[in-house]
Amino acid sequence: MARNVCLGVTFDVRLVVEGRNRSYFFYLPPTDQPAMARPLLLGFHPYLQPNRMWERYIGLKAAADRYGLILAMPKGEGWGMFRSFNAGLVNDPYDPDDLLFTSTMINDIASRVAIDRSRIYAMGMSNGGMLTHALTQGLPGLLAGIVSVSGTPGSPLAGDTLATPVMMVHGTTDPITPWSGPSRLTPKFIHFQDVDSTLAQWRTINGCTAHADLQLYDRPGDKTQIICHRWPAPPALAETVLVQVLKGGHRWPALEKQRYFPRTGNQSTDVDMTTMACEFLSRQQRQLQV
C-alpha cells in the first residue's frame, strides 16, 4: 500500500543500480484525492541539459499540475552537464543499463505513491528521446505512449515490438540528429536511425491507416512551419503522429523564443510542444494483462 506523502512538492531520490549511484526526482501535483492512482510521466533530458534544467526549460511541473501527472525525471550518467542515457547509440559494454534503472525507478515510485500502471508515459529530447524508443523494445508492455523530440532509435525497431502510441517531433534541418540519419559530421562510433524509416516502422507496428490527417501550424515571427501528420489506427492498436518542423533545428518548439546552445538550428514558435505532447499522452491508456 502506498505511504502517505506531501503533495505539490518535489522529492529527491538516490538509488544504487548495478552498483552505480543513480538519482532522480519526482514531483506530485496537488490533489484533493491523495490515495488515487495517477498517471506517471517519465521525462528524459537531452545531453548537456540535466533533469532539473530541462524541466525548467520546457515547464514540465506546470504541465504535471495541469494534467494531473506524477512527474519523474531521472538524471543520466556523467559529470555536471555532461550527462547522457544509454539509448543503444554506442556499443559499449561498460555503459549503464538504463532500462534496468528505469524499471527500478518506477518500482521505487510505486512503493511510495499510487501510480496507474496502465498510464505510464515517456517523453524525451535528443538522447532522452532516443531512450523512449529503446524502452518500448527493452521493457515491452510498460509504456502507454511515448513522445520523442529530435531523437530516433539507435537501431531498427524489432519486428515483434508491441503497438505503442508514438509522437515523433523532428526538424527537417536538424544539424545534431539529421532527418536522414548520421551525417559526415556525426562521430563514427554513434549510430541512429533516420526519421522516415523509423516512422514507417512505427506505422507498420501500430497498424496505422494509409493516409494521414494533416494540420498546419504557422505563427508569424520565426523561420519555421509545422505540419502535424496523424495516422489513426484501429482501437486495438495505436495512433502514430509526426510533428514535422519545416526548417526547424535541434530545438524544442515553444510559443516564445528561448536561449539555447549555438549551432542547433531554428527554434519553432508555432506550437507549445509541451502542451501538445501532454495532450497526446493523456489520451493514451494501455490494456494491462490480467
Q: Model-level pTM? A: 0.95
- In the predicted model, is pLDDT for residue 81 greater than 80? yes
- The pLDDT of residue 6: 61
Least confident of 18-22, 92-96, 177-181, 192-196: 92-96
When computed from its CA atoms, the radius of gyration of the chain, rounded to whole angstroms, is: 18
Say if residues 72 and 26 touch (Cβ distance below 8 Å): yes
Q: What percent of the chain has pLDDT over 70?
A: 97
Q: Which runs of E-coded beta strand occur in 138-217? A: 145-149, 166-171, 213-217
The fold of the 10-282 domain, in CATH, is: Rossmann fold (3.40.50)
- C-alpha to C-alpha distance for 150 and 152, rounded to whole angstroms: 7
- The pLDDT of residue 54: 97
- C-alpha to C-alpha distance for 78 and 23, rounded to whole angstroms: 12
- C-alpha to C-alpha distance for 204 and 130, rounded to whole angstroms: 19
- The pLDDT of residue 1: 39
- In the predicted model, is pLDDT for residue 204 greater than 70? yes
- The pLDDT of residue 34: 75
- C-alpha to C-alpha distance for 243 and 138, rounded to whole angstroms: 25
- C-alpha to C-alpha distance for 274 and 5, rounded to whole angstroms: 27
Query: Which phi and psi (to 5°) does residue 19 adopt?
Result: 80, 5
- The pLDDT of residue 4: 54
Query: In this structure, how many other beta carbons lie within 10 angstroms of the beta carbon of residue 117?
Result: 16
Across the chain, mean pLDDT equals: 93
- In the predicted model, is pLDDT for residue 106 greater than 60? yes
Smallest Cα–Cα separation from 120: which of 74, 163, 167, 70?
A: 70
